[in-house]
Amino acid sequence: MGDWEWPLILFTVLGQVAIGIILMLWWLDRDRDRNHLDNLLFKRGVYVSGTLLALALLASLLHLGHPEAAYRALTHLGTSWLSREILLFLLTFLAWIYLFWQSRQQTSRHTPGSGTSTITTAEIAAAEQQTGNRSLGLGLTSVLGLLGIVSSAMIYVLPRVPAWNNVGPVLFFLLTTGLLGALCTLVLGANLLQAAQKKTLLQWSLGCTIVSLLIYLIYGSMLSVSLEGATSLNFLLSSPLFWIRAVLGWFAPLLLLVSILKNPQIDKNNLIFTVTFLAGLGEVLGRALFYLSATGIHITALF
Amino acid sequence: MSKQLGFLHNSEKCVGCRGCEMACKNEYQIDATPQWRKVFQLREEDFSLPTRMFFSMACNHCAHPECLRVCPVEAYTKRDDGIVVHDPNRCIGCRLCTMACPYDRPQFNPVKKKVEKCNLCYQRIDKGEKPACVAACILGALELVEINDSLDQKTGVLKTLPGLPSPKITTPSIRFIGPKQGKQIRRD
Amino acid sequence: MISYEHCPQQVLKVNADLLLSLSVLFEKGGENLHQTLGPFVKSCAAFSDYFKLEKLLLSKETLANCLKADRNEYVLMTYEFNRLFVGPTTPEAPPYESIYLSPDHLMMGEQMLAVRKFYLQENLQTAGKGQEPDDFIATEFEFAAYLLSRIMEVQGAKNDRQIQLYINLYHEFWARHLSLWLGLFARRVCQSTRHPVFSALSEVLDTLTTLNAIKHEGGQL
Amino acid sequence: MKLSRRKFLGGAAAAVSSLTLFNFNLLTNSPPASASDPTSETMKTFRNVCPRNCYDTCGMITYVQDGILKKVEGDPKHGYTNGKLCLKGYAYPRRVYSPDRIKYPMKQSPRGSGNWTRISWDEAMDTISKKILDLKKRYGSTLPICLDKYSGNFGIVHYGIEGTMSSLGYTTRALGTPCWPAGIDAQTYDFGTLYNNDPEDMVNANYIILWGQNAAWTAIHSIPFINKARERGAKLVVIDPIVTSTASKADLYIQVNPSTDGALALGMARYIIDNNWVDWEYGRANSVGFDEWVDYIKKSITLDWASEKTGVPKDIIMEIAREYATTKPASMWVGYGMQRHVNGGQNVRIIDALGVLTGNVGKSGGGVNYGHLETWGFNYNAMINPAPKGSKGFIGPDGKEGDRNINMNNFAHDVTAQSDPPVKMLWLACRNPGAQDPDTHAIEKMFASMEFVVTVDSFFNKTVEMSDIVLPATTHFEDWDVMASYWHYWVGINQRAIEPLYESKSDVEIAIELSKKMNKLEPGSCTFPTSGTPEEWLAKEFNPGILKMLGIKDYKELIDGPRKANMPSAAWSDGKFRTPSKKIEIHCELAAKNGLPALPIWVEEMKSPVKYPIRFITPHPQHALHSQFQNLDWMMTTNPEPKVEIHPVLAAQYGIAEGNMVKIYNDLGSITVKDHLTRTTSPNVVVSYESWYKNSNFNVNYTLKATPSDMGKQATGNNGVAFHDNFVMIEYG
């Protein structure tokens, strides 16, 4: 059985939330004409995700016996997914800095279509130029980030650990990104998102939750084929943590999201806050269990 | 790679005296916690008769070392003679290798906050000496050998023993002579 | 590095006195606290006054009170001293550098040799045939105090070259040894002691370490 | 730059230090030479011998750099241990440099309070001397002082401990050996003394029986010789109640009922006689009472009885009987475990006789091998000191005045039982009765009743805990000494590889200090010499006899390597037995005189009482030698906790599962220990290996009654302890 790997839990979850947010912003940014991405939300998103990303990277250092030498972790890109992960996350961070710079640019000019009487063609051109750069930045960051997340998942794809040695880790990490990314964006954009945007994000979150649940069911059933996998499974099913995680991360969000989408009159924001909070907890627990339940193939002789 | 050095452990001869275990600690004055080499007792259930049978295992200097693959700092290198050497000066203590090795032989030293493991006494080998554990084995149950087909074709040479992870994971450079049981007159 | 040529003798003296009193305190052991505690408390007071160390005020007080202790109290201090530093049970805080810096907490580790070499640079070695490890706290303090006294001497002799050399040597010794383990040692004492006098002692050791740690990075002596 | 600066400084310091006002306490000027090159000196090697109470007594090479012990290795020049050590031997550096070592003389007041004061050697000696003189005054003799020394260090110079006492006058002595006396007497009755073939001679055997012997744990260096014989086709039979690591390797393992080994041997004898595989010629020519014993067997022994008694099927008894009698030479190695019973000595006598019956005694590749003391003929110069003039002694039954001997194997009881004069002071060295003696509660009580207790030791164990003064003992790396084995034929010297650490002293150095002080306080009160370096003391142990035996002119030759005594490889091959009749005494009058059967006939084993149906066997551990080694950090990490081995069937009866804590108890006391379920033991026997774990009060002897074994008095002064006739109850706890 594994241990409570707090640094790793924080690093992975926070990092995934951060990238999730950027990803969502990018997505929202595609639609230029009708409901385009609000600048303020863009800024908020960029700032929050940046902070989370920074925190994540810091947390990852705490896992090391010798954080002061962490820079060396870049030296084995050849075969080590850990090296690749670090590289990609650093690149993501660079891309984010570009985004940050972008967001500073925004402030200088007033945004197009903000109801001002006369708009010169120059302004429009500049504005478009800008939104172009913006979505380029968002896209770049998202792609690098997603690659980073995939490689952090790949770290755990170890032949020694049947519970990990499959597509599971990649899917789990990406789903966390999708779910929490969307929910956090909803929170950040509580009063900046247009109804349509909210709706799509909510649907997306719901989708992620359902997929996550289904995948977990398949994953669980697959585990039991190997001895160690079975041990992991038994550990999970017998652990109260797992059931809390199930309620917080799957069932509660499922119900709430459905109800939010069903009746438009209820106060969305509060509920969205709750869902995000619960799902967040659920994901953290889930990640903790991911490490706790890992059982490696090992020597079973008597000591 | 020109060749692959490894261990041949003879469980028929080994009485589990643990001399190798301590000789290793004595040679390098290893801290209390990490055990580069360890003697394991095979499970009673794996034999027709209750018995005390053993094998001794350090790093297996695998042909496909997982530790080397996952290590982000290239602390692991594989020499031409197949010895997998861990360089503590590069190690940053990320412990990924300890997760990846099915034999748990890279061991985290909680005090130095780095991983350590058996380097097959390469400095002794380079001087033409035997590894400390091999030199210390009173019963000649532990040998330094070249892992190759001619060894594997020898009768009685096994690639694994009950209770060991499948060699498929890392193709460890260790071979065994299986334990042999005599006759027992029991009272139960 | 700031030049120390004009460093007032008094600073060196206050420092040296404290180190020396500590050395004697540990060398003479728990049985002689009634003799060694006095000088220590005195030099400690002078030290904290000179450097205006508020954080030592309490310790100063405690020590002053312990000084007034009656015979029985001193006996208790003796037992505690031995429980912490001597034995025959496993000492709670063995006063040897190796125990803290050698990963397996064994005696006579590499650090002991490094210290020995330091002494040899000054043509010095431990008295006796090395039965008492060179990295014994009392010996290290004595050596540090000796270096300070040399600085004072050569200052008297106005030999700038030597002044610099001894100052460097002094800081090097702290940087490489005392400041690496004294803190750990002080913590161990503080955690395991049941007598105020040793908590106070640990406080002093801790302050001394931090102060010197700053100094070897080039602060004013 | 650095070096030049150092040079400059060195010079400067050398020049000024005379002027310097600084007065050193701990530091002093070093010879300038050393300063010129403070880099590490080259590795030096020294010869040492492991002095523990062990068959193998290994030759060691010790690596020392800058006066620090770096590592140890086996001595390749030692023909028996062959350049290899055991796991305990390799852990030695941890013993030497353990922070737990006792560093200075310390005084505890009051005893057991944990209030320790450091005292100088002078004060220690002063306190002890004054106590001795005071007792002498009060009781008119030194008999109130009792020495308990045994096997913590078997170095010859360490007999200076006995010397310390004899030089004070007549004292009370713990006499005997807990370990192996029943077997010693058995062989003394039969052959005149214990004398085994050279273990290296086992290579010549065609059939080997290890009888209650777990060489894999207690004499690992013998196994290669056994294996050589097996490679030549010899069969290995192990007879033991436990499937030990050794038994696991046997061609045939026989799980005999504990304490019925004699019955098995008698059964074998019966079958051998019936088939006339007897070596009549050897038996009749070399022994007395041969036919008498044969008649006894014919009359009173049947295979059915033997089988019923031992739990060994008839056909197996017949099989090993036939093989042992017809596959010559056949070697038997009688372990010390099998004689720790109320009929242990008698069982060994029967096995001896079986060896004679088949003519396997006195043959290379044969023998009934138990142990020997042939290579121990030193001067014991440190041990022999005349009592001071006018010393009053104890008048023994023989009317001679001398020391008052009490039973080491019932120590607590015998110490308290003394009244004229009572025992008031204990001196313990090379001994840890607090951990190793039977009935620990009784030991605790007895210690509490003492006026004064002095213990010499290197570690704070149970006995030190119960002492007034503890004196720090050197390790064997800090002493000069010479070591012989009670199994192999090699003798080796032990050099001082490193200076004694802290203020530790060897036992002889302690004796010297004590003598100085005693004579200062009361001239003539102690006869122990007050001079001589440790090496000089070593030199005094050698005599022409031993030098000749080792084929050397001077002890210094041993520095080049250990020597093997030039003796025939087969004990008794000369047929010169050392019994009164100069023959093997199958019929032994001496035994009869001592109230034992004259013949090796069957004597009933101890039966388990109704209340305590389970036999509790507590054999030697693998990671320790009694209370030595297990406390070291390497051992505590590789073998962190004690275990009790329980047969699954028995465990089931008491609702105990693997890894449970189990309470083992009887009227004497109880211990609670984690269990391991294994069928290597039998359903009516639980096994836990005696040992002293650091910071643990685990001690099997809390349950162990000081039941005497049947023999030992004749050769060792007292009967042994029937350690393995201990009966208990177990419960989930």
Banded pLDDT at C9 (limits 50, 70, 90): confident
**10 Å Cβ neighbour count for A10?**
20
Helix (H) or strand (E) holding B18: none
How does strand D235-239 pair with strand D207-211?
parallel
Structural domain total, chain C: 1
**10 Å Cβ neighbour count for D674?**
14
- Residue D315 structure tokens: 């056909």
Average pLDDT, chain D: 94
Banded pLDDT at C123 (limits 50, 70, 90): confident
Query: In angstroms, rounded to a whole number, what is the distance separating the alpha carbons of residues C213 and A5?
Result: 34
Q: Using the beta-carbon criterion (under 8 Å), do B21 and D87 form an inter-chain contact?
A: yes
How does strand B76-78 pair with strand B84-86?
antiparallel
The shortest CB-CB distance from B138 to any of D221, D636, D680 is to D221
Chains touching C, CB cut-off 8 Å, 3+ pairs: B, D
Is the domain defined by D614-732 classed in CATH 2.40.40.20? yes
CA distance C107 to chain B (A): 13
Give the mean pLDDT of D596-624: 97
The shortest CB-CB distance from B72 to any of A66, A82, A303 is to A82
Query: In angstroms, rounded to a whole number, what is the distance separating the alpha carbons of residues C182 and A233?
Result: 49
pTM of the model: 0.91
Taking Cα atoms as reference points, which of C32, C63, C29 lies closest to residue C46?
Answer: C63
Instruction: Please check whether residue D29 touches C, CB under 8 A.
Output: yes
Taking Cα atoms as reference points, which of D732, D642, D644 lies closest to residue D695?
Answer: D642
Q: D 560-579 residues with CB below 8 A of C?
A: none
Report whether pLDDT(D10) > 60.
Answer: no
Helix (H) or strand (E) holding D593: helix D589-593
Q: What is the pLDDT of residues C96-112, one digit of tens each?
A: 999 999 877 888 888 99
CA distance C138 to chain D (A): 8
DSSP, collapsed to helix, strand or coil, labels residue D564 as strand
Q: Which residues of C touch D16 (CB under 8 A)?
A: 150, 153
Banded pLDDT at D39 (limits 50, 70, 90): low
Q: What is the pLDDT of residues D518-548, one digit of tens each?
A: 999 999 999 999 999 999 999 999 999 999 9
Instruction: Please check whether residue D98 touches B, CB under 8 A.
Output: no
Return residue ranges of chain D for CATH 3.40.50.740: 106-179+376-476+504-544
| C53: β partners | none
CA distance C105 to chain B (A): 9
Q: Do chains A and C touch (3 or more CB pairs under 8 A)?
A: no
* Contact (CB, 8 A) for A49 and A24: no
* Contact (CB, 8 A) for A275 and A198: no
Please, how many CA atoms are within 13 Å of residue D478, restricted to the half-sphere of its CB?
A: 25
Encode A24-55: b = buried (16+ Cβ within 10 Å), e = exposed. Answer: bbbbbbeeeeeebbbbebbbbbbebbbebbeb
Residue C221 domain flag: no
Better-scored residue on pLDDT, D31 or D602: D602
Angle at B89 between CA B87 and CA B93, to 5 degrees: 85
Taking Cα atoms as reference points, which of A3, A100, A94, A2 lies closest to residue A43?
Answer: A100
Q: Which ranges in D63-106 belong to alpha helices (H)? A: 87-90, 92-96
Q: Which residues of A touch B99 (CB under 8 A)?
A: 158, 160-161, 294, 296
Banded pLDDT at C220 (limits 50, 70, 90): very low
Q: Is the dihedral of CA A45, A46, A51, A57 positive or negative?
A: positive
Between C and D, how many residue pairs show a Cβ–Cβ distance under 8 A?
Answer: 155
Q: What is the pLDDT of residues A122-168, one digit of tens each?
A: 666 666 677 777 888 899 999 999 999 999 999 999 999 988 999 99
- Mutation target to probe the A interface, by most A beta carbons within 10 A, among B92, B114, B161 is B92
DSSP, collapsed to helix, strand or coil, labels residue A154 as helix
Residue B184 domain flag: no
Between A and B, how many residue pairs show a Cβ–Cβ distance under 8 A?
Answer: 112
Q: Using the beta-carbon criterion (under 8 Å), do C108 and D12 form an inter-chain contact?
A: no
Quote the longest CA-to-CA distance of chain D. Answer: 98
| Nearest residue on chain B to D71, alpha-carbon basis | B26
**10 Å Cβ neighbour count for A265?**
5
Q: What is the pLDDT of residues D387-406, one digit of tens each?
A: 999 999 999 888 899 999 99
Length reported for chain B: 188
What is B74-139 written as a DSSP string? Answer: --EEE-TT--EEE-TTT-----HHHHH-TT--SEEETTTTEEE---TTHHHHHTTPPPHHHHH-TT
Taking Cα atoms as reference points, which of B42, B35, B81 lies closest to residue B58?
Answer: B35
The shortest CB-CB distance from D27 to any of C119, C129, C150 is to C119
Report whether pLDDT(D575) > 90.
Answer: yes
What CATH number was assigned to the domain covering residues D106-179+376-476+504-544?
3.40.50.740
Instruction: Please check whether residue B47 touches A, CB under 8 A.
Output: no
* Contact (CB, 8 A) for D47 and D557: no
Angle at D582 between CA D577 and CA D586, to 5 degrees: 80
- Full pLDDT tens readout for chain A, 303 residues: 678 889 999 999 999 999 999 999 998 888 766 667 788 888 899 999 999 999 999 999 999 999 999 999 999 999 999 999 999 999 999 999 999 988 887 654 444 444 455 556 766 666 667 777 788 889 999 999 999 999 999 999 999 998 899 999 999 999 999 999 999 999 998 888 888 888 889 999 999 999 999 999 999 888 888 888 888 899 999 999 999 999 999 999 999 999 888 887 777 788 889 999 999 999 999 999 999 988 899 999 886
Q: Which residues of B touch D678 (CB under 8 A)?
A: 44, 50
| Nearest residue on chain B to C106, alpha-carbon basis | B31
Task: Tally DSSP H helices, then E strands, for chain A.
Answer: 10, 0
Taking Cα atoms as reference points, which of D570, D599, D569 lies closest to residue D584?
Answer: D599
- Res D4: pLDDT: 38
**10 Å Cβ neighbour count for D40?**
11
Q: What CATH number does residue C126 fall under?
A: 1.10.3480.10
% chain B with pLDDT above 70? 99
- Res C154: pLDDT: 83
Q: Which residues of B touch D247 (CB under 8 A)?
A: 52
Give the mean pLDDT of B91-95: 95
CA distance B128 to chain A (A): 32
CA distance C57 to chain D (A): 30
Q: Is the dihedral of CA D37, D38, D42, D48 positive or negative?
A: positive
Report whether pLDDT(D34) > 60.
Answer: no
Q: Using the beta-carbon criterion (under 8 Å), do C90 and D100 form an inter-chain contact?
A: yes
Q: Which residues of A touch B164 (CB under 8 A)?
A: 299, 301
Report whether pLDDT(B115) > 90.
Answer: yes
Instruction: Please check whether residue C77 touches D, CB under 8 A.
Output: no
Instruction: Please check whether residue D678 touches B, CB under 8 A.
Output: yes
Domain range enclosing C178 = 9-216
Length reported for chain D: 733
Q: Which ranges in D140-279 belong to alpha helices (H)? A: 160-166, 181-191, 215-218, 223-231, 261-274
Query: In angstroms, rounded to a whole number, what is the distance separating the alpha carbons of residues D34 and C120?
Result: 7
Q: Which residues of B touch D244 (CB under 8 A)?
A: 52
Q: Residue D664 region, left (φ>0) first, then alpha (ψ -120 to 50), else beta?
A: beta
* Contact (CB, 8 A) for D587 and D599: yes
Q: What CATH number does residue B153 fall under?
A: 3.30.70.20
Q: D 229-268 residues with CB below 8 A of B?
A: 236, 243-255, 257
- Mutation target to probe the C interface, by most C beta carbons within 10 A, among D18, D22, D465 is D22
What CATH number was assigned to the domain covering residues A6-114+121-292?
1.20.1630.10
Q: Using the beta-carbon criterion (under 8 Å), do B109 and C103 form an inter-chain contact?
A: yes
Residue C2 domain flag: no
- Res D3: pLDDT: 35
Query: In angstroms, rounded to a whole number, what is the distance separating the alpha carbons of residues D29 and D7?
Result: 15
Instruction: Please check whether residue B122 touches A, CB under 8 A.
Output: no
Banded pLDDT at D20 (limits 50, 70, 90): low
- Residue D526 structure tokens: 């102690």
Phi, psi dihedrals of residue D647, rounded to the nearest 5°: -70, 135
Q: Using the beta-carbon criterion (under 8 Å), do C138 and D99 form an inter-chain contact?
A: no
| Nearest residue on chain D to C32, alpha-carbon basis | D118
Spell out the domain ranges in chain A. 6-114+121-292
- Res D114: pLDDT: 94
D386 DSSP 8-state letter:
P
- Res A32: pLDDT: 66
| D492: β partners | D483
| D425: β partners | D145, D452
The shortest CB-CB distance from D102 to any of C87, C123, C132 is to C87
Q: Which residues of A touch B102 (CB under 8 A)?
A: 159-160, 296-299
Give the mean pLDDT of D84-96: 96
Encode A154-172: b = buried (16+ Cβ within 10 Å), e = exposed. Answer: bbbebbbbbbbbbebbbbb
D222 DSSP 8-state letter:
G
Q: What is the pLDDT of residues D422-441, one digit of tens each?
A: 999 999 999 999 999 999 99
- Res A106: pLDDT: 64
Quote the longest CA-to-CA distance of chain C. Answer: 52
Instruction: Please check whether residue D97 touches C, CB under 8 A.
Output: yes
| Nearest residue on chain B to A84, alpha-carbon basis | B72
- Residue D695 structure tokens: 């910071």
- Res A34: pLDDT: 66
Q: Using the beta-carbon criterion (under 8 Å), do D9 and C79 form an inter-chain contact?
A: no
Q: Using the beta-carbon criterion (under 8 Å), do B44 and D680 form an inter-chain contact?
A: yes
Q: Using the beta-carbon criterion (under 8 Å), do D216 and B17 form an inter-chain contact?
A: yes
- Res D528: pLDDT: 96
Give the mean pLDDT of D253-259: 97
| C32: β partners | none
Return residue ranges of chain D for CATH 3.40.228.10: 196-370+575-593
Instruction: Please check whether residue C103 touches B, CB under 8 A.
Output: yes
| Nearest residue on chain D to B24, alpha-carbon basis | D90
What CATH number was assigned to the domain covering residues D196-370+575-593?
3.40.228.10
Report whether pLDDT(D14) > 50.
Answer: no
Query: In angstroms, rounded to a whole number, what is the distance separating the alpha carbons of residues D659 and A254?
Result: 44
**10 Å Cβ neighbour count for D671?**
22
Q: Which residues of B touch A72 (CB under 8 A)?
A: 72-73, 90, 92
The shortest CB-CB distance from A160 to any of B72, B73, B102 is to B102
Q: Which of A61-75, A263-277, D364-378, D650-664 has the lowest mean pLDDT?
A: A263-277
Q: Using the beta-carbon criterion (under 8 Å), do C127 and D26 form an inter-chain contact?
A: yes
Q: Which of A40-54, B135-149, C49-63, D607-621 has the lowest mean pLDDT?
A: C49-63
Residue B30 domain flag: yes
Give the mean pLDDT of C25-36: 93
Q: Using the beta-carbon criterion (under 8 Å), do C104 and B29 form an inter-chain contact?
A: yes
Q: Which residues of B touch D (CB under 8 A)?
A: 13, 15-19, 21-23, 25-27, 29, 32-33, 35, 38, 44, 50-54, 135-140, 181-188
Q: D 628-647 residues with CB below 8 A of C?
A: 633
Q: Which residues of B touch D249 (CB under 8 A)?
A: 15, 182
Q: What is the pLDDT of residues D185-238, one digit of tens each?
A: 999 999 999 999 999 999 999 999 999 999 999 999 999 999 999 999 999 999
